[in-house]
Amino acid sequence: MRKEELGVLVQSLKQMAAAREVVNISKKVGELIEDMTHRMLFGRCKDYQRADLKALVQETLILVGAFNIADYVPFLGALDLQGLKRRMKAISGAVDHILEKVIDEHKQDASENQGNHKDFVDVMLSLMNEMKNFHQEPSYLIEQENIKGIVWDIIIGAIDTSATTIEWLLSELFRHPRVMRQLQEELENVIGMERMVEEVDLANLVYLDMVLKEGLRLHPAGPLLLPHESIEDITLNGYYIPKKSRIIINAWAIGRDPNIWSNNVEDFFPERFIGSNIDFQGKDFQFIPFGSGRRKCPGMQLGLINVRLVLAQLVHCFDWKLPNGMLPSELDMSEEFGLALPRATHLHALPTYRLLPKVNMTTGLVNTTVNSTVYSDGQLAVYEIPQILLSQGILSPQAPASAPLPPKPKKASPLNSHAPSTSTTVSVDSCEATGLPHYAPIMVSIGVAVVAALSLCI
């Protein structure tokens, strides 16, 4: 699933790279994480459901991170002077309505045997039905309300935090070209330049792991983690903590403490983790981006896989350049107040596709994009553009309206007597359907490649 969604993103970025378009990385990454999460949970989320869920997630994160005067003056909580409770109840009702509809659709698909692939909701419904059949004690039953609560927790915990972490990591890599080059060198050595990153490759990317640790040290997904509460009176290091005290841990401040991380604590320096046993499990209290102990983030592994894979793919497949001649040191790194502390402004950059084209063993040519001009009599004039020329921006996959059309045959034929009407992309197999020989587009592509190479030499 992740491979398919990432493949769609890479293809989209390749087209933007060929067109020399600036990419809104924040938007693209956010949509990717949403698609991956919704596909994992629901199989595929409908457009209206996706839009509604996105708005509800944003509103929920705003309310959870909002200042609540009742936290400091408890007796004012019943008055709800800020309207936070009313807004939260409205969100709860809207979420319940959407998820109820999603679950009902999954039940209907299961009864009609229409579901080809099981997603998270299908698995939970299956588990719920199995428990009911075994007549378990009520305390061990999974009800539909439980499923809705678990699904909503995953949506809240997975989408915003993963997207924000990837944004900050790319921002730091753009500001530190040395680290970017070293990470790309590791990807080249481990994976090569002929293919994309696979999940099985992640275990061999040691420097990527250090980059991720350094990024989460400076920009933890939850700067204050989640609130904790003491279950009994306790004294720690001479400090008395009464029962039911709310404990807030400032992971952001711990990650920037010079007494722990030396004087270059504000620098993005992944090499500080060389030879270190510090990991993401929370055993080392100087680095707890996911918390520690029984109350640490239950979705840690899911988040790490998503972040590692997306970051590695974007760095491996593309070279990135800041727009409008902006220098790395000029990149705005301001933070916006919120639960996940996102960037204050969206991250933009200009991509250049960097992977080598694959060679077609049948023709001996690199992968090609086949374009055609459709004439009013329905026949086609076919020509090929080598993919290497597209990736370097020398040629465009679709000629603009003002560009010259491919030359018509000189001999009298139906193609000569009609003006072209539209242009579209077709496969080489179309040559057989139109009576054109299979080698015709290959000869044209060789000519295009030679002319382009000569123009570069000149």
Rounded CA-CA distance 350/321 in Å is 5
Q: Copy the structure tokens of residue 424.
A: 């579209």
Q: Does 232 share its domain with 298?
A: yes
Q: Does 340 share its domain with 382?
A: no
Within-domain flag for 362: no
Rounded CA-CA distance 385/442 in Å is 9
| Residue at which a domain ends, from 297, 319, 353 | 353
Q: Does 295 share its domain with 420?
A: no
Q: Does 127 share its domain with 260?
A: yes
Q: Does 382 share its domain with 328?
A: no
pLDDT of residue 386: 45
pLDDT of residue 383: 38
Q: Does 214 share its domain with 346?
A: yes
Q: Does 377 share its domain with 346?
A: no
pLDDT digits (tens, 9 = 90+) for 201-234: 999 999 999 999 999 999 998 899 988 889 999 9
pLDDT of residue 50: 73
Within-domain flag for 359: no
3-class SS of residue 349: strand
pLDDT of residue 445: 44
**CA angle, 409 then 413 then 419, to 5°:** 75
- Gap between the terminal Cα atoms of the chain: 46
pLDDT digits (tens, 9 = 90+) for 122-137: 999 888 887 776 665 6
Say which CATH number the domain at 151 has.
Answer: 1.10.630.10
Within-domain flag for 136: yes
Within-domain flag for 363: no
Within-domain flag for 358: no
Residue 22 identity (one-letter amino acid): V
Q: Does 132 share its domain with 252?
A: yes
Q: Does 181 share its domain with 211?
A: yes
Count each helix (H run) and each strand (E run) in the chain, helices first: 14, 10
Within-domain flag for 241: yes
CA dist 378 to 8, 400, 406, 419, 435, Å? 31, 21, 16, 11, 12
pLDDT of residue 53: 87
pLDDT of residue 117: 60
**Structural domain boundaries, residue 54:** 2-353
Q: How many domains does the chain have?
A: 2
| Residue at which a domain ends, from 326, 353, 380 | 353
Q: Does 335 share its domain with 440?
A: no
pLDDT of residue 74: 87
Q: Does 344 share its domain with 442?
A: no
| Residue at which a domain ends, from 323, 353, 383 | 353
Within-domain flag for 360: no
Q: Does 276 share its domain with 185?
A: yes
Tell me if 297 is assigned to a ligand binding site. yes
**pLDDT under 70: residue ranges of the chain:** 45-48, 113-117, 133-140, 358-458
Long-range contact set of residues 254-262: C-beta below 8 Å, sequence gap at least 24? 254/285, 254/286, 254/287, 254/288, 255/216, 255/217, 255/218, 255/220, 255/286, 255/287, 255/289, 256/217, 256/218, 257/286, 260/286, 261/217, 261/286
Helix (H) or strand (E) holding 93: helix 84-111
* Strand pairing class (348-353; 318-321): antiparallel
Return the bridge partners of 383, or none.
Answer: 371
Within-domain flag for 221: yes
